[in-house]
Amino acid sequence: MAQIVSATPSRSAQVTAQQIFRLIHREMQAVEEEFEHQARTNIQIIAHIGRYLHQTGGKRVRPALLILAAKIFGEEVDHDVIKMATVMEFLHTATLVHDDVIDGAETRRGRQAVSSQWGNETAVLMGDWLYMTAFETALQQRSLAVLDALTEATRKMTEGELIQLTLIGNIKITEEQHLDIVSRKTGFLFSASSRVGGIMRGATEEERDALASYGLNLGIAFQLVDDLLDFTSDMSKLGKPVLNDLREGKVTLPLIRLLRQNPEFAPIVRAAMDEPAGETRRAKEVLAILDEYGELDRARNEAYAYAARAQEALLIFPDNPYRRALTDIAQFIVERDR
């Protein structure tokens, strides 16, 4: 029986991450090589930005999910699995490039955002190129099931971004609306990554659905922690300014719950959103209130609950190192500090 994550951390998230990636080190190295290979082109600007994005790195959680899901069904994976894992990273990278344009972000992962360095027009087109390259690679599989998973995830992500844009600065956003955005913007690509890993190895429909459920719940947990880190982390760890979501008018779970129970804090939250660039006095007041009322802890507990649901979805599979690694990823995600 797998150990289900609880709100009490059982081990270091850093150790867990190292263990997980050591298990698939060879495959993840192949993903890095495939990323570099797919980003090669004789169009100089695309090749240059592609190298920049590759060097910027990232957690590579989505390709890791696909590889681990595939390896549940057998130790050896072929190059097609590596290519599809790289497709997931391309899709994710495309969303980040576009998101930075929409948000007017200056930095990403501690470096200048593509839009900041090359301009919005170039960034939008680069994001489009990444999307199209990803789908061109996926088409080589000649699998409708794979394409269905990717097109659904891409559509849901776009819908999530559009819904979020309509709610920017709206302090009356509901918990249900926020979780819908989280599911669309983050959950569905995690879900597709896990599902496609199973599809590539001939998983049954029940097994594909279980992997998709695992990924969806894991993605929601991941984003809830990301939202929390915007309040609790620092720029050296996060790679972007803290309290950034608040300044951009994005009202996330801790604030939604605080304002639902204590609407008298709405003017302070609004003042924090309207603070000039570089000023954080009002934002820090909001942070202190969230901490005092326990909303940061409650939001983390919500992330733990989604991570536990993700782990429960894996219980239909035989116990093996790869199922255990997927279980451990849920622990890593809710305990991370960056």
User: How does residue 243 score in pLDDT terms, banded at 50, 70 and 90?
Assistant: confident
- Residue 8 forms part of a structural domain: no
Q: Distance (Å, rounded) from C-alpha 268 to C-alpha 134?
A: 44
- Residue 4 forms part of a structural domain: no
- Residue 215 forms part of a structural domain: yes
Number of domains present in the structure of the chain: 1
Q: Chain-wide mean pLDDT for the chain?
A: 91
The model carries a pTM of 0.92
From residue 267, alpha-carbon distances to 61, 232, 292 in Å are: 38, 22, 18
User: How does residue 235 score in pLDDT terms, banded at 50, 70 and 90?
Assistant: low
Range of the domain at 254: 13-335
31: which residues sit within 8 A by CB, 6+ positions away?
Answer: 60, 63, 67, 82, 85, 86, 89
Percent of the chain residues topping a pLDDT of 90: 77
Q: What per-residue confidence (pLDDT) applies to 242?
A: 62
Which residue did the predictor score with more confidence, 284 or 27? 27
- Residue 50 forms part of a structural domain: yes
Which parts of 168-294 fold into alpha helices (H)? Answer: 175-182, 188-199, 205-232, 235-238, 244-247, 253-261, 266-273, 281-292
- Residue 7 forms part of a structural domain: no
Which residue did the predictor score with more confidence, 42 or 193? 193
- Residue 242 forms part of a structural domain: yes
CATH (domain of 331): 1.10.600.10
Question: How do residues 127-159 score in pLDDT, each as one tens digit?
Answer: 999 999 999 999 999 999 999 999 999 999 999
Highest mean pLDDT among 19-28, 49-58, 114-123, 226-235: 114-123
- Residue 5 forms part of a structural domain: no
Q: Distance (Å, rounded) from C-alpha 124 to C-alpha 176?
A: 30
Q: Is the pLDDT of residue 63 over 70?
A: yes
Q: Is the pLDDT of residue 234 over 70?
A: no
Q: Is the pLDDT of residue 283 over 70?
A: yes
